Structure 1
């Protein structure tokens, strides 16, 4: 059985942790062409009798990007959906924690989501703020 502690330890050993609280941590991943991209993983309250985690990665400030274009880009993506949290446009993906294979069912969606968020950020802002 995979625990929240397993996820935290996996992230700590592989990525640069920028900020950590009890139920979430924010970290940075390397991207193409000297770009970097932040990601956050949240431990969600139990839903339907099981624990879940949510991976998110910022695309840009919601008031500075074309949100319709973001929704169109996100709609064509296999991983993640678009959301706005605290004024930041994000791509998000949720996974059940129980019996999660960290290397296959966490890291693969994480890398896919982060790569898409970085590509969307580049397309929509022409910057690398996140």
Structure 2
């Protein structure tokens, strides 16, 4: 898999797509405990030449949580991804270059980022909003 179109085709075939735009696909992953997580998968262009894919999923509003506690938890437990503030939302995200991307190099980080965000959401908000 080496292009956004290839990855988008795989995502459409493998996941529940809830929204799609030319450079962005939103999917919903469901878990056995009736919880779910929405994930934004977006095409990014680095330095106007290299295609990357960004996996991002919100898990809380910044005003809902103790940011220091969240950052400490992420520092102690998260292997893939980093915390960013997007508007009023805390978002766990990870980026990968598309060139020579094997499917496991996408699926594994997707599952890790999404699963981690779901656990953070449950731990810090007790809700299932995202």
TM over 0.5: yes
Residues 10-49 of structure 1: pairs in structure 2 closer than 5 A: 10-47=10-47, 49=49
Runs of 4+ in 1 over 3 A off after TM superposition: none
Over the residues paired in the alignment, what is the CA RMSD in angstroms?
Answer: 1.4
Q: Distance in 2 between matches of 1:18 and 1:125?
A: 24
Q: TM-score by structure 2 length?
A: 0.92
Alignment: residue pair count? 129
**What aligned pairs does 1:75-90 form with structure 2 within 5 A after superposition?**
75-76=75-76, 77-90=78-91
Could you tell me which runs of 5 or more consecutive residues in structure 2 were left unpaired when the two chains were aligned. none
Report the Cα distance in structure 2 between the residues aligned to 1:128 and 1:105, rounded to whole angstroms.
27
* TM-fit CA distance, 1:48: 8.0
Q: Distance in 1 between matches of 2:32 and 2:59?
A: 16
Correspondence 1:42-61 to 2 at 5 A: 42-47=42-47, 49-61=49-61
Partner of 2:74: 74
| Change beyond 3 A, Cα 1:83–1:4 | same
CA–CA separation in structure 2 for the residues paired with 1:113 and 1:98: 21
- The answer for unaligned runs of 5 or more in structure 1 is none
